[in-house]
Structure 1
Amino acid sequence: MKLSLLSVAPLATTVAAFGAHNQPPKGEVTKTDNFVWADPFHDHRLAHKLTPSCTVEKSFAAREFLLHDLYEHDPKGLWNYGDALKTIFTGRPYPGGWDGLDPHMYERPLMLMEYADVPVAVREWIEEAEREVGEEEEDERSEDEKKKKKARKNLFAVFERATEPEQKVTKTVVPAKTAAKAAALRPLDTKRVVIFAPGALYSILPLWVADEAAAEGSESCAKSLLSLDNYAPKPKDGGVIAWTTAHTAPNRGKGERAMTFTIKAQTLQAAGAASFGGKEEL
């Protein structure tokens, strides 16, 4: 299932035909192909066999656009980045909307966030993914490993923020060559934005809330959340589960695009085991 943002020559024509104020047709809503995640907080195994050793929840501000907004100017659309988005995502599977649902056609959501508002752990993950796919493929990794590496590319597109209404941003930011250099250049993140589909969040949800665990004084919890090896779709002893427990809808009728989304994560242990701290709740 390819990102229809990227059949964009016909899409551009169609959007122009509808005009800025007409409602485009809606596609059938389906589950995104290969989306393995589901809300784990209603899994019956939690109540009987597993308990949370820590629970962390955090909300984020963003702007949510639809593909119909691709040729609208800011603040209603993504015109400044539209051409670059077409190039970047061409031929890549759409990772899905909220909860892995795919509205198809013009209703597919895209998120825009201030890059500096994204937790550092997530920024580091995005940048490392870009470094990896930018390397030469002259190594001994298996074909499956190479495919997995390639699949990470461009789930998040980082741009220098457009500063003029008619400015076209034509390429993504190239990350610093090393994580250490990127850390030294963090002040530049205040001049950048990141654009992604909501479905891109789900494979790295714990990274979004790990700093909140640290802020609450649970370094052990934060460490567990930062290790994606602990994170899986199914609850397990010693594992991490997470989900987007809430997301508001922008008031599109008033031309607004602002919204918030909330991510909840838990580290799990066998029922009756001692907790290492954090909020204990389901």
Structure 2
Amino acid sequence: MKLSSSLSAAQFVAAVMAFGAHNEPPKGVVGPTENFDWADPFHDHRLVNKLSPACSIERTFSANEFQLHDLYEHDPKGLWAFGDVLKTIFQGRPYPGGWDGLDPHMYDRPLLYMNYSDMPIAVREWIEEGERVPENLDDEDEADKKKREARKNLFAVFERPMEPMKKVTKTVTPPKTAAKAAQLRPLDAKRVVIFAPGALYGILPLWVAEAAESKAEGTAGCNGKLLRNLDVYAPKPKDGGTIAWVTEHTEPNRSKGERAMKFTVKVQTLQAAGAAKIGGDKDEL
């Protein structure tokens, strides 16, 4: 079976499910993900003399990493319970990419599986806002519509399967308002989320914003409100901007049937080199 790299994520899921558990999946050629705008900013020449971090923060998260050909495998080695519904929710959406903006193009494409409650609240709020349909679509201008559609279905949130041989048939519908979602946060412990690694990169600052707001260790001088502002987050370093990257991601020991892994998010807010930091100190990269 030959697959075109231009197929949507849903078409790949369908092809994998049809391929079957007893066939060795073919390998794809790893290449750059189409329309992936992000790149590792921490080796940019502008950071050597022109810019320095006003804030630098790292956080590590745990997840399970599967591949598309794991969709016919049952838990804990695969995502069989979610296979059918994933075909539906990914319909028409290009695969967002693997790690570092690379795409294996075929059955080795990675998918991450996390407990929804393990995601920072800022990330959950962003996901829910993108899935929440505005009360009056007629009032939504074209720019806002494009932004909402661009983030829709990047992260698929499900109720955790309670029976081992039961298929999941739908995603979780977010509450109609952010205030109602805040009241229902305890329900997040019963939910899971599935997404491609490439979906992370557009919102990496949100993964550390909560730690900054709580003034956790290693966040001195970091402004959580600024980290939540994705308007100043960009692929290239600039004065007053925010940069981020997944600086490390472990690989699960698939030969032993394991899927557990970890990934580390690094985020910096930038200022002109030599400018006074909050607190009066200066910082160097």
Q: Same fold (TM over 0.5)?
A: yes
Residue pairs, 1:61-210, within 5 angstroms: 61-132=62-133, 137-139=137-139, 141-142=141-142, 144-210=143-209
Q: Does 1:34 align with 2:35?
A: yes
Residues 229 and 9 of structure 1: CA distance in aligned 2, closer, same or farther (over 3 Å): closer
Could you tell me which residue of structure 2 aligns to residue 265 of structure 1? 267
Q: Please give the secondary structure, in 2, of the residue aligned with 1:25.
A: coil
Structure 1 residue 173: deviation in Å? 0.4
Structure 1 residue 140: deviation in Å? 5.2
The one-character-per-residue Cα deviations of 1:205-246 (angstroms, maximum 9, x if unpaired) are: 000011222324647522211111110011000100000000
| Equivalent AA in structure 2 for residue 122 of structure 1 | V
The one-character-per-residue Cα deviations of 1:185-206 (angstroms, maximum 9, x if unpaired) are: 1000000000000000000000
In the aligned structure 2, how far is the partner of 1:53 from the partner of 1:273? 9
Residues 8 and 53 of structure 1: CA distance in aligned 2, closer, same or farther (over 3 Å): closer
Gap regions ≥5 residues in structure 1: none
Structure 1 residue 26: deviation in Å? 0.7
Q: Please give the secondary structure, in 2, of the residue aligned with 1:263.
A: strand
Residue pairs, 1:243-254, within 5 angstroms: 243-254=245-256
Structure 1 residue 269: deviation in Å? 0.2
Aligned length: 276
**Cα pair 2:159 2:171 within 8 Å, conserved:** yes
Residue pairs, 1:271-282, within 5 angstroms: 271-276=273-278, 280=283, 282=285
Q: Please give the secondary structure, in 1, of the residue aligned with 2:268.
A: strand
The one-character-per-residue Cα deviations of 1:96-139 (angstroms, maximum 9, x if unpaired) are: 0001101011000000000000000000000000014x655323
Pairing partner for 1:15 from 7, 10, 20: 20
**Cα pair 1:6 1:86 within 8 Å, conserved:** yes
Once the two structures are aligned, what percentage of the paired residues are identical? 68
Residues 181 and 38 of structure 1: CA distance in aligned 2, closer, same or farther (over 3 Å): same
**Cα pair 2:127 2:155 within 8 Å, conserved:** yes
TM score, norm. by length of structure 1: 0.92
**Cα pair 2:51 2:270 within 8 Å, conserved:** yes
Aligned-residue CA RMSD (Å):
1.9
TM score, norm. by length of structure 2: 0.91
**Cα pair 2:55 2:221 within 8 Å, conserved:** no
Structure with the largest fraction of helix:
1
Farther off after superposition, 174-183 or 211-220: 211-220
**Cα pair 1:6 1:87 within 8 Å, conserved:** no
Q: Please give the secondary structure, in 1, of the residue aligned with 2:167.
A: coil
**Cα pair 1:66 1:107 within 8 Å, conserved:** yes
**Cα pair 1:65 1:257 within 8 Å, conserved:** yes
Q: Does 1:241 align with 2:243?
A: yes
In the aligned structure 1, how far is the partner of 2:68 from the partner of 2:171? 19
